[in-house]
């Protein structure tokens, strides 16, 4: 018979580890150290009398008892949130701008992770180009922006770096002697400018075949077989392939993703820490796992990347 109450902070750490598949990311999300996260989990396991998480140098995964406890752990945290909501005052608002080249298909999971961190926080998200969002941030219209590296800016926290490639539909063929047809985002777009500069420097004749108002539109043009596009692999439409090496196109560099914020503390900062940790986690997962082999499960506090056997890392 379990008599002493469970530590909700330890339960929150356990859920964070389970959802992010990493002690490191869980520590980032909870704005603490990896050692503190490990200690919380150890105390919870001692309290329950069983191992909840199996950890090796290659992966982090739930034990059978941990998987069984996870849903109960989430319910305990949700009950706490509902109790606290009864005494909450006016909702705090956090306005975030996210570059269209950054948001990607993982955006619902990222929003769910922020909401799980603080259900009482009013989250206001705007999608746009990195250049436009930086300008809005400088005008103090946005509290935070997550963007690609922007020319003339050296500030911001680097969240991750992503490799880009020249992607096209499997059935697409470049007609000999014709300029390379390129699908791009509308200006201003840093990725478009980078791709154009590299093609020009390499002496590759090219022409814009499609200009989209968002990455989804560019991906649709690639799927339709209109031409090639410079995209990060996790942004790819299903089945798209990197044709850069075959066509002798210039290598695209790894581009940093930067967080600019004037939020320094309090609940909004905690939510941002959870967002940053979740973003690093999904990008890491995209590197290890082809997009066609993974899928997302989105349901409030249950947002998580469904595992691909053999692909987990600590």
Return per-residue pLDDT of the chain as tens, 314 residues: 456 788 888 998 998 888 778 888 788 878 788 899 999 999 999 989 899 998 887 778 899 999 999 989 888 887 877 777 666 666 788 899 998 888 888 888 888 888 888 888 888 999 988 888 888 888 888 999 999 875 556 678 888 888 899 999 999 999 888 999 999 988 778 888 889 999 999 999 999 999 988 888 999 999 999 999 999 888 876 688 999 999 999 999 888 888 998 888 777 888 888 888 888 877 776 555 543 333 333 233 333 332 222 333 33
CATH number of 8-85: 1.10.10.10
Determine the pLDDT at residue 287.
56
CB atoms within 10 A of CB 10: 21
The CA distance from 284 to 180, in Å, is 31
Distance CA 158, CA 128 (A): 19
User: For the chain, where do the domains classified as CATH 1.10.10.10 start and end?
Assistant: 8-85
Residue whose entry in the numeric block shows the structure tokens 């056997």: 309
Q: Phi then psi for 238, rounded to 5 degrees?
A: -55, 130
Q: For 145-195, what is each residue's pLDDT tens digit?
A: 999 875 556 678 888 888 899 999 999 999 888 999 999 988 778 888 889
List where CATH 3.40.190.10 sits in the chain.
93-158+256-304, 165-252
Q: Where are the alpha helices (DSSP H) in 50-106?
A: 64-85, 100-103
Q: CATH topology for 165-252?
A: D-Maltodextrin-Binding Protein; domain 2 (3.40.190)
- Bridge-based pairing state of the strands 206-212 and 180-185: parallel
Backbone φ, ψ for residue 192 (5° rounding): -60, -45
Rounded to the nearest 10 degrees, what angle do helices 8-20 and 34-48 cross at?
110
Q: What is the pLDDT of residue 2?
A: 52
Judge contact between 222 and 229, C-beta under 8 A: yes
Architecture of domain 93-158+256-304: 3-Layer(aba) Sandwich (3.40)
pLDDT tens digits along 266-300? 778 888 888 888 888 777 765 555 433 333 332 33
CB 21 within 8 A of CB 60: yes
- In degrees rounded to 5, what are phi and psi of residue 304? -165, 155
SS3 state at 309: coil
Q: What is this structure's pTM?
A: 0.62
Q: Residue 237: how many CB atoms within 10 A of its CB?
A: 18
Report CA-CA distances (Å) from 195 to 9, 57, 143, 151, 252: 47, 38, 30, 14, 8
pLDDT of residue 3: 66
């Amino acid at each position: 018979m379990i008599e002493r109450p469970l530590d909700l902070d330890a339960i929150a750490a356990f859920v964070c580890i389970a959802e992010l598949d990493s002690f490191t990311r869980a520590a980032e999300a909870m704005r603490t150290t990896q050692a503190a996260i490990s200690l919380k989990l150890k105390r919870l396991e001692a309290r329950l009398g069983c191992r909840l998480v199996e950890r090796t140098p290659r992966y982090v995964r739930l034990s059978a008892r941990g998987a069984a406890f996870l849903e109960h752990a989430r319910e305990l945290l949700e009950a706490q949130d509902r109790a606290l909501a009864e005494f909450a005052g006016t909702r705090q608002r956090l306005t975030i701008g996210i570059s269209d080249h950054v948001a990607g298909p993982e955006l619902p999971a990222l929003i769910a992770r922020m909401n799980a961190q603080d259900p009482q926080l009013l989250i206001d998200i705007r999608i746009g180009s990195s250049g436009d969002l930086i300008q809005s941030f400088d005008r103090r219209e946005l509290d935070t922006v997550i963007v690609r590296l922007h020319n003339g800016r050296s500030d911001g926290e680097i969240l991750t770096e992503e490799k880009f490639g020249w992607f096209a539909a499997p059935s697409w063929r470049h007609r000999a002697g014709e300029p390379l047809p390129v699908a791009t985002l509308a200006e201003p777009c840093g990725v478009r400018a980078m791709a154009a500069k590299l093609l020009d420097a390499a002496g590759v004749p090219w022409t814009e075949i499609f200009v989209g108002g968002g990455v989804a539109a560019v991906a649709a043009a690639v799927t339709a077989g209109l031409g090639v596009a410079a995209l990060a692999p996790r942004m790819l439409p299903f089945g798209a392939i990197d044709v850069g090496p075959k066509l002798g196109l210039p290598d695209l560099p790894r581009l940093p993703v930067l967080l600019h914020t004037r939020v320094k503390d309090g609940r909004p900062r905690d939510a941002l820490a959870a967002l940053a940790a979740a973003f690093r986690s999904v990008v890491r997962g995209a590197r290890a796992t082809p997009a066609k082999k993974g899928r997302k499960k989105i349901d409030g506090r249950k947002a998580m990347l469904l595992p691909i056997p053999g692909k987990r890392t600590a």
